Amino acid sequence: MSFDRGSWNTRLGFVLAAAGSAVGLGNIWKFPYITGENGGGWFVLIYLSAILLVGVPIMIAEVMIGRSSQKSPVSAFKILAGEDSNWRFVGWMGIAAGFVILSYYSVVAGWSLNYVLLAIMDTTHNQTPEQIGGLFGKLYADGNITLFWHFLFMSMTVGIVLGGVRKGIEKASRVLMPLLFILLLILVVYGFFAPEQGFMRTVRFIFYPDASKLTSRGVLEALGHAFFTLSLGMGAMLTYGSYLDRKEDLVRSSVTISILDTVVALMACFMIFPIVFGYGFEAQAGPGLVFKTMPIIFSQLPGGMILALMFFLLLTFAALTSAISLQEVVTSFFIDETSWSRRKATLLTGTIIFIFGVPSAYSGQGAVFGAWAEIFGMNFFDTMDYLASNWLLPAGGLLIALFAGWRMPAALTRAEFSTGSNLEHWYPIWRFILRWVTPILVAVVLLYKIQVLRLP
C-alpha cells in the first residue's frame, strides 16, 4: 500500500474544495439553460426539492462512507462491507464515471479557456453579432483547436492534483473559490442594473410557477441535474470525505456545500438572464447561451471586454475546481489500491483521460471522426454526457443511498452522523429519507428512463 494519501488542513479547506467540486459548469453553463428550456418556475421548485430530498441525504451518506473508511470508493466499500463484497463494484462504477465525465468536461472547460483568450485579445470588438455567434460554431467544428484547449485544461487539472490534497487541491480551492464568488457577485450586481427591467423579469422567470411549461421530462431532468451539480453518485464527495478528520462535523459541512452550490446556481441565473432579457435576447438559447449569446451581449456593452474576461475566468475557475475532484477520484483509487505514487497515478490516468476525450473534442467535426463518433444517433460528446448524468450517477447514487441506509449498521451511521455535530436530532429524519424517499424517487426516475414506466 502506498502512503501517498493526504488529509485536509482545516474543515474550511474541505468545505471549499467540496464546494469547488460541486460548483462547476453544471451551475453556470448548464443550470441556466435547462431552466430556460423548462420555463423556469416549476422547474426550479422541483430542482430545489430534488436537492433537499435526494441531494443532501446522499451527500451526507457519501461523505460519511468516505470519512468513516478513510479510503477512496473501491477500498471504502471493501473496508465497510468486506473484501469480496459486491458493493465494491459501486466503487468501480464511480471510477469509470470519473474517467468518462472528466474526458468531456475538460472539452467544454477548454472552450471556456478559449473565450478567456478571446476576451483578452478583445477579438469581438467591432464584430457583428452574426460573426461573434459564428465564432462558437467555428470552434466547435475545429477539432484541432478544441483539442489544444482540452490538452491545456487537462494539464492544469493534473498539475493541481499532482500537488496533493493540501498543497494542491486545498490550496487551489482556497484561492479560486473566493475569486469565483467575487466575480459572480460583481456580475450579479451588474445584472441588477440591466435595462428594460431585466432583473425583475428574471425574478419572475425563475420563480413564477407556470404549470403549462412543466413537462415530465423536465421533472426527470431536474432530478438528474441534482446529482450532477452536487458531484454525487460516483464517489467524488466520498473521496473528499476520506481526507476529512474523524472529529469533524460532516452533516453541517454537507449542508453548507449543498447550500453554496444551490446559491451559485441561482446567482448564475441572476448574472446571465437580466442582461439576456435586458438586451432583448431569448432565454431558451440552449447550450449556446453561454458561448454565443453572452459574448454577443458583452461586445455591445461599454467595458464589455472586462465583463467578458470576468465571466469566462469565473467559468474556468468553476470548471477547474470540479475537474480536480474528478481526477482525484481516479488518482486516489490507484493510490489506495496499488503501490503507485500520487505522481505516477495522476500522470498516467490524466494522460488516458486526455486521450479518451479526443473523440469528444472532434465531435463537432462531422466529417473526420463523426462517422465513428456517432453512437445512438448522438455524437460522442453527447453520448458520454447522456450516459454519465442519466445513468451512471443516478444508479451510483441509488446504490450509495441503499448502502448507507440499509447495509451500514444503524449504530455506525448514528455515531458517524453525531460526531462533532449538534445536528444529531436530525439523524432519524435523515435515515428515514435515505432509506425510503431517496431510493424510491431515484428508482422511479430510472424506471421511466428504461421505459418500464411510461411518461404521460
The residue ranges that bind ligand TRP (CB under 6 A) are 21-22, 24-27, 101, 228-229, 231, 234, 236, 322, 325-326, 393
For residues 249 and 328, which CB has a smaller minimum distance to ligand TRP in the complex? 328
**Is 50:223 a contact under the CB 8 Å cutoff?**
yes
For residues 310 and 315, which CB has a smaller minimum distance to ligand TRP in the complex? 315
Nine cell digits for residue 121? 485579445
For residues 26 and 66, which CB has a smaller minimum distance to ligand TRP in the complex? 26
For residues 26 and 143, which CB has a smaller minimum distance to ligand TRP in the complex? 26
Burial of 128 (0-12, 13-18, 19+ CB in 10 A): exposed
Nine cell digits for residue 47? 430542482
Tally of CA atoms within 13 A in the half-sphere of 94 that contains its CB: 35
Residue 303: CB minimum distance to ligand TRP, A? 28
Residue 98: CB minimum distance to ligand TRP, A? 7
Q: CB neighbours of 19 closer than 8 A, spacing ≥ 6?
A: 173, 177, 256, 257, 260, 261
The distance in angstroms from the start CA to the end CA of the chain is 53
For residues 64 and 393, which CB has a smaller minimum distance to ligand TRP in the complex? 393
Residue 248: CB minimum distance to ligand TRP, A? 21
**Is 188:270 a contact under the CB 8 Å cutoff?**
yes
**Is 38:60 a contact under the CB 8 Å cutoff?**
no
Residue 273: CB minimum distance to ligand TRP, A? 19
CA angle 20, 274, 32 (to 5 degrees): 45
Residue 233: CB minimum distance to ligand TRP, A? 6
What SS3 class is residue 375?
A: strand
Residue 66: CB minimum distance to ligand TRP, A? 13
For residues 220 and 326, which CB has a smaller minimum distance to ligand TRP in the complex? 326
The distance from CA 441 to its chain's CA centroid, rounded to whole angstroms, is 21
